[in-house]
Amino acid sequence: MLDTNQLIEIRWHGRGGQGAVTSAELLAKAAISEGKYAQAFPSFGPERRGAPVLAFVRINSREPIKVRAEITQPDIVVVLDPGLLSIVNVTAGLKPKGTLVINSRRSFEDIEALFKAKCRLAKVDATTIAREVLGVMVTNTTMIGALLKAVGVVKLESLVEPLNQRFGRLAERNIKAMQKAYEETTVRE
């Protein structure tokens, strides 16, 4: 299990417009609200809506974070779009005993068959939750809930204020989607 008192590096995989960058920012704000040090940043190139994108988060509860480089050996990888599994090597660089958090309806066995990496695996059908609760298939806040179930890098309630600030009148539905994903996420060691 990951020691949340050390530097934690998280890489988010999504598609342009799905909210991977927003997820990273919200998580960093929640960590800061808990008195931790955090940074969030995207990796942009010539991306367009629907193209694969990356976002990164570092959280440290003990000292300021000085490194500003892209995360190439994450402790945790979060995949917002299951379609990326066949076109992007999402587990590239994942540390031994790292955690992979995936939006998928597939079985653990099917997901594990796709990867050679031995890691903790967490999954949730974030697309269905987003469609039912939010009315759109944007999975960013649902996947925050899945991440927090898999690895408690921050408290679920620490996301309430950042979600309220970011989404205004839509915050309540996003909070509900995050909580539902938290409840429905299953983890396999």
Position 113 scores a pLDDT of: 84
- Average confidence (pLDDT) over 156-164: 96
Q: What is the mean pLDDT of the chain?
A: 91
- In the numeric block, which tokens belong to residue 78? 């979060």
Q: Which domains, ranges and CATH numbers included, belong to the chain?
A: 8-188 (3.40.920.10)
pLDDT score of 109 more than 70: yes
pLDDT score of 29 more than 60: yes
Q: For 173-180, which contacts have Cβ atoms below 8 Å and span 24 or more sequence positions?
A: 173/133, 173/134, 173/135, 174/134, 174/141, 175/141, 176/133, 177/129, 177/130, 177/133, 177/134, 177/141, 177/142, 177/145, 178/141, 178/142, 178/144, 178/145, 178/148, 179/145, 180/129, 180/133, 180/142, 180/145
pLDDT score of 16 more than 60: yes
Give the C-alpha separation, 143 to 12, whole Å.
10
Structure confidence at residue 112 as a pLDDT band (50, 70, 90): confident
- Average confidence (pLDDT) over 119-137: 94
Burial class (CB within 10 angstroms; exposed 0-12, middle 13-18, buried 19+) of 110: exposed
